[in-house]
Amino acid sequence: MSHREPSVSCPRRGEALRSGVVPDDEAVDLSLPEGLLPVDGRFGCGPAKVRPEQLDALASRGADFLGTSYRRGAVRALLGRVRAGLRELFELPADYQVVLGNGGGTAFWNIATHGLIRNRAQHLSFGEFSGRFTAVDRSTPWLAEPSVIESPPGTHPEPRAEPEVDAYALTQNETSTGVAMPIHRVPGADVDSLVLVDGTSAAGGMLVRPEAFDVYYFAPQKCFGADGGLWIALMSPAAVARAEEIAAGGRYIPEFFSLPAAIDHSARDLTFNTPSVASLFLLSEQIDWLLGLGGLSGAAAKAAKTAALVYGWAEDSPYAAPFVAEPEQRSPVVATIEFAEHIDAAHMVAGLRAHGILDLEPHRSFGRNQIRMGMFPAIETADAEALLSCIDHAVAQLGRPAGRGRRSNA
Ligand SMILES: *Cc1c(COP(=O)(O)O)cnc(C)c1O
């Protein structure tokens, strides 16, 4: 294979690295051998791959739901199917509730500061998403200054019991850095305190035990292969009781953020206001598919298999390395791979994009020489394998001759 100079329209290297993004219209001349491309080139971390079977089902059966009242038969039955399916998938105890509303994962941070945190929360802040919930809490005037435990990007901190903390905010998978953490209750914490888990990119692709959380909330555009705009919360009896206690206590809560209103509507297979019915349909199809993989453990095993392949490749590669140094902390659903200095990752990603291999850009808050790839259950392991071959080809063509060894994680 011939080594070629990057085409002239390539942004200057410093530029691409600072922004972490290459404009979509940038032309990078990369040729890949026939038959090497993945069948499906969607590797984004959210919105993430929607399986073609989900879309076919929507096209063939969507008319039963789309354009009909969400307060009547078909859509309510659909919401009931989603709630029952999630209960089965997460093996929820009978007294846990499945609650849904509009606004996506981000909305739930405001819902929590209004209706779940009594006075003071502890946040583990170790990337863009966990950091954003921390910022929402910090700017909430009726709450005490939160306790914030940080750790550098590519690692996660540990929660620790604190006497005045009434809610512990954890993130199972920090999507910006590809760090995952085990979810368990905080040893020594007040029995009355809640564990609130952002499971947005983990839910459906990583194991979690209901006994370990009071609220596990997520949006369906990652493992669940639906569209954004909805939030889903799996709530323990203690969390429901907390929501009722705070709402009864006189704090002003906009009705749109009201958990008691959402709990009440969800129990009747309704949402507070009009939901995206197409998204609910896609979600429902994906829940059935995940159950067919063997439930959460089968789905998690599929993602873990893809992850083992990707991290194994990176460890063996002379020019790539997993960004997360500690193998235990590497996410099974989102991989961040760091490239050696002689390779311009943004340029390579632009070249792959031209071949329909999409959304490998690192998180926009994160201007490092890396790629980030989704490994959700819907992403086939064979497609991940094909992607790694394409990267090897791209590096051979686009990378300047290697002058140095691999870059360390330090
Ligand atoms: C994607 C993501 C969010 C944001 O979800 P939206 O539905 O876009 O608001 C929050 N937390 C984590 C961990 C995420 O991955």
Q: pLDDT per residue over 160-192, tens digit each?
A: 999 999 999 999 999 999 999 999 999 999 999
What predicted TM-score, i.e. pTM, was given to this entire model?
0.91
Among candidate residues 251, 278, 305, the one where a domain is terminated: 278
Q: Within this chain, do residues 175 and 233 fall inside the same structural domain, yes or no?
A: yes
Q: Within this chain, do residues 171 and 237 fall inside the same structural domain, yes or no?
A: yes
Residue 146's CATH number:
3.40.640.10
Give Cα 326 distance to the centre of its chain. 20
User: 76-102 burial, b if ≥16 CB within 10 A, otherwise e?
Assistant: eebbebbbebbbebbebeeebbbbbbb
For ligand 1, say whether the CB of 374 is within 6 Å of any of its atoms: no
Q: Cα of 219 to ligand 1 centre, how many Å?
A: 7
Rounded CA gap, 116 and 195, in Å? 10
Q: Within this chain, do residues 113 and 188 fall inside the same structural domain, yes or no?
A: yes
Nearest CA to ligand 1 atom 2: 200
More confident residue, 290 or 2: 290
Q: Within this chain, do residues 272 and 356 fall inside the same structural domain, yes or no?
A: no
Report whether 146 contacts 171 (CB < 8 A).
no
Say which amino acid occupies 136: V
Q: Within this chain, do residues 87 and 140 fall inside the same structural domain, yes or no?
A: yes
Q: Cα of 179 to ligand 1 centre, how many Å?
A: 14
Residue 245 makes CB contacts below 8 A (sequence gap 6+) with 118
Domain that holds residue 188: 68-278
Nearest CA to ligand 1 atom 4: 105
For ligand 1, say whether the CB of 229 is within 6 Å of any of its atoms: no
Q: Within this chain, do residues 172 and 305 fall inside the same structural domain, yes or no?
A: no
Report if residue 62 sits inside a domain.
no
For ligand 1, say whether the CB of 227 is within 6 Å of any of its atoms: no
For ligand 1, say whether the CB of 180 is within 6 Å of any of its atoms: no
Residue 194 has pLDDT above 70, yes or no: yes
Instruction: For residue range 29-57, list pLDDT tens digits in order.
Output: 899 988 999 999 999 999 999 999 999 99
DSSP-derived secondary structure letter, 177: T
Q: Within this chain, do residues 21 and 101 fall inside the same structural domain, yes or no?
A: no
